[in-house]
Each structure stands twice: as C-alpha cells, then as structure tokens.
C-alpha cells in the first residue's frame, strides 16, 4: 500500500497529567513535538494528516503550530470528551473522508520507523481479509487502523469502556514482529524524566 493512500493520525488531545504540561508542545529539534511528528509523517509520503485535538480551543492553538506544512492537515475535536485515547482515535477515524487506513501515533511518540510503516502497509494490502488493525504486540500506536474500527470504538465509548487492550483484542488484527532497530518507534515521552533523557541522548548523537 502506498503511503499516499494512508491518512496520518496524531492523537494530541490528552491531559498530559504525568508530564505536567501539554506534551504536544514540548520542543524537539527546535520545534513543537506535534509539528515534528507531522513533518515526519509527511516525509513518509502521507498526504493528509488528521490531528485529534480533544477540544476546539486546543485545535485553534494547534492550527497555528501546523501552518505552512506541505500536506493537508485537519483537526477534529472529540465527540466523547474526556474519554482518553479511544475518543481521539474515534474522532480521527470518523473524520476521514473515505474508507481506508489511518496511521495512528500518540503526540508523545517522537520516532517513526520508515521500515515498520512500510511493512504495515504491505501487510494490510496483502492480507486475505481486510484487517481493522495492523500493529506489533501490545502496542496500540505506530499502528494502522481501518475506518471500519470506528464502529467498535463508538460502541465502547457509549458504554464507557475506555480500556485500550480489550479494544485491540476485539478488532480483526494482523500482528507483526518489529525488526532490529524498529523498537525505537515505541519511545514515548510521557514524563519529564523520559523527555529529558530523550533530549539528552539526541544531543549526544548530534
């Protein structure tokens, strides 16, 4: 599956409670993490990105940060407020203009594996049955979700079931093993300590 057929999804509507400030705004390589991640997605060949921003107010703030990108970037607020990542994923999949796959990343994940992304696209295309989810073991993000998964998400949100792993187990799934070097894609910066460590390591590499 070509990258241009996949919509990028960035979940950026959370409260960032453990970080103490909005993770999407943390500086990485001299720019907010949200913009850094959007640029990385576009560099893969993705042409459209949807940012699940949680609220309209936050969406207005993000729109300014994302100006000037060469792809199409849309923002969507949660239909189920204060319901965590499942609400953001539901909002983004529901906002996709046509059936297809969305490549979902949390806004605190600064690394995209180009090889793993490509393998996920091939797995989705080559599967005998159209999977609703292509992921690696126990990882809900850096994953492909089909728009058909929005129905299952909505049912769970309506009954207040916000657990991520039961959702993953309920979807028709193709699971891949990460190759050497691809595990870095699952780094997340959800505490000040993890963020400082990541920035320090990047500084030492440069």
* Binding site per annotation, positions: 11-13, 23, 78, 108
Phi, psi dihedral angles at 79 (to 5 degrees): -80, -20
Alpha-carbon torsion (191, 27, 144, 48), positive or negative? positive
Q: Which of 141, 147, 114, 95 is nearest to 46 (CA)?
A: 114
Which residues sit in the known binding site for GTP? 11-13, 23, 78, 108
Q: Where does the chain show beta strands of DSSP type E?
A: 7-11, 27-28, 31-32, 48-54, 72-77, 101-106, 133-136, 143-146, 173-176
Q: Which class for 123: exposed (0-12), middle (13-18), buried (19 or more C-beta within 10 A)?
A: middle
Cα separations (Å) of 205 from 7, 91, 125, 201? 31, 37, 36, 6
Which residues sit in the known binding site for Mg(2+)? 108
Q: How many CA atoms lie within 13 A of 30 on its CB side?
A: 0
């Amino acid at each position: 599956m070509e990258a241009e057929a996949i919509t990028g999804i960035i979940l950026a509507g959370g409260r960032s409670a453990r970080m103490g400030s909005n993770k999407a705004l943390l500086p990485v390589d001299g720019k907010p993490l949200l913009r850094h991640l959007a640029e990385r997605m576009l560099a893969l060949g993705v042409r459209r990105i949807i940012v699940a921003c949680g609220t309209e107010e936050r969406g207005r703030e993000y729109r300014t940060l994302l100006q000037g990108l060469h792809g199409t970037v849309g923002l969507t607020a949660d239909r189920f407020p204060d319901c965590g990542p499942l609400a953001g994923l539901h909002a983004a999949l529901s906002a996709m203009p046509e059936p297809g796959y969305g490549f979902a990343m949390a806004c605190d994940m600064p690394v995209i594996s180009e090889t793993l992304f490509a393998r996920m696209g091939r797995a989705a295309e080559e599967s005998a049955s159209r999977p609703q989810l292509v992921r690696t073991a126990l990882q809900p993000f850096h994953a492909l979700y089909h728009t058909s998964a929005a129905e299952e998400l909505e049912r769970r949100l309506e009954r207040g079931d916000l657990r991520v792993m039961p959702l993953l187990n309920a979807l028709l799934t193709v699971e891949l093993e990460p190759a050497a070097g691809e595990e870095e894609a699952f780094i997340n910066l959800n505490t000040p300590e993890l963020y400082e460590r990541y920035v320090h390591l990047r500084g030492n590499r440069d």
